[in-house]
Amino acid sequence: MEAANLSVASTAVALPLGSEACSIGGAALPGREPPFSVFTVLVVTLLVLLIAATFLWNLLVLVTILRVRAFHRVPHNLVASTAVSDVLVAVLVMPLSLVSELSAGRRWRLGRSLCHVWISFDVLCCTASIWNVAAIALDRYWTITRHLQYTLRTRRRASALMIALTWALSALIALAPLLFGWGEAYDARRQRCQVSQEPSYAVFSTCGAFYLPLGVVLFVYWKIYKAAKFRFGRRRRAVLPLPATVQVKEAPQEAEMVFTARRPVVAFQMSGDSWREQKEKRAAVMVGILIGVFVLCWIPFFLAELISPLCACSLPPIWKSIFLWLGYSNSFFNPLIYTAFNKNYNNAFRSLFSKQR
């Protein structure tokens, strides 16, 4: 997760400002540093708003899960793990990345120790956020396709194991350069702070942090799609066609009372899709959107991170910055997606704010 310079590189245009201030190709001539352009101020403002919104929205999800007892179970612990990683991205990673964007000449002026801390948290939090998305997709997949075998106890154990593996693998990928001397993040001569460009580490980190979870979520959604298509297709085939001479008047979709034989409970079932089928449809749509946004946000960055060290080539700084912040924005979209498809969160948000008044 290399931090690229957005402010100077994006304004790499010759701007005649007298004899002592002129920028050509992003390099300022001796005298004074070039002033920020209106475009740069606008971009920085948007990035600050993105950081604030990412922090506040994920913090709201965490507070809601902690305060509402009904959320103290699966799958909300997976959502909480994702929110923790995204809050850390907003607090520990994005602000220092913005400072690096604003520095002239793409220089890191905060020292070697802080560089190592920042890069480690960058890789740790972003990798954990990505693997948490994969864990949520796996949980939804098992819930939809194996709802009889995937009991509450099994689900609780599986989610705890997935959370532990997520953070352990993320820590291994983040700390590998420091523990095993796998490249250097800080270049004192050039004052650069970036993820180790060692080709072997680039393959290891990108595969472990992105391509492996990408394969998991694509496989999971393909299986969810096949299971849903099979189930709803079988349900349609089970309905016998009526004779052509019989005319049936369409009735409005009204709730009807259903008495269950095994338990003395009165339930209401819609005359169309059952409650479980509607829930499974919403879960499948949520997982699909979550995966789609995840892929769109991160795949440009990780393609560049894998190819650049292997071919000893480099993208223009402006594109590095765009890909980097597009990946960071996934931490903003995550809570929007998995709360938009869960009415319980919306009700909890309203209840939380009404109690504060």
Q: Per DSSP, which regions of the chain are E strands?
A: 23-24, 27-28, 186-187, 192-193, 255-259, 266-270
Residue 27 lies in a domain: no
Domain that residue 47 falls in: 38-236+280-346
- The pLDDT, as a whole number, for residue 45 is 94
Task: Find all residues with CB under 8 Å of 349, minimum gap 6, and list them.
Answer: 60, 64, 339
Beta-strand pair 186-187/27-28 = unpaired
pLDDT computed for residue 232 by the predictor: 59
pLDDT at position 326? 95
Domain assignment of residue 315, yes or no = yes
1 Cβ contact list (under 8 Å, min separation 6): 93, 119, 122, 123, 126, 195, 301, 305, 324, 327
pLDDT of residue 353: 75
Question: Could you tell me if residue 337 is inside a domain?
Answer: yes
Give the SS3 label for residue 250: coil
**Would you call the peptide bond into 316 cis, given omega within 30 degrees of 0 as the criterion?**
no
d(CA 295, CA 256): 42
* CATH code of the domain containing 230: 1.20.1070.10
Contact in structure between 78 and 136 (CB atoms under 8 Å): yes
Q: Do the domain assignments include residue 341?
A: yes
Beta bridge partners of 28: 23
pLDDT for the residue 72: 82
| Residue 197 contacts residue 311 (beta carbons within 8 Å) | no
Spatial separation of the C-alpha atoms in residues 219 and 349, rounded to whole Å: 33
pLDDT at 356: 60
Measured between alpha carbons, how far is residue 192 from residues 24, 26, 64, 104, 264 in Å? 21, 16, 40, 12, 69
Residue 35: the pLDDT is: 58
Task: Report yes or no on 203 lying in a domain.
Answer: yes
Residue 179 forms part of a structural domain: yes
Number of domains the chain is built from: 1
pLDDT at 271: 42
Predicted structure pTM score: 0.77
Asked if residue 6 belongs to a domain, the reply is no
Amino acid 302: pLDDT:
94
Looking at residue 27, its pLDDT comes to 40
What tens digit of pLDDT does each residue of 231-255 get?
Answer: 656 555 554 454 544 444 444 444 4
Task: Give the per-residue pLDDT at 276.
Answer: 65
On whether the CB atoms of residues 73 and 156 are closer than 8 A, the answer is yes
DSSP 147: T
pLDDT at 105: 65
The 10 Å Cβ neighbour count of residue 202 is: 19
* Residue ranges for the chain with pLDDT beneath 50: 2-33, 239-240, 242, 244-272
Q: Say if 57 falls within a structural domain.
A: yes
Sign of CA dihedral 303, 308, 313, 319: positive
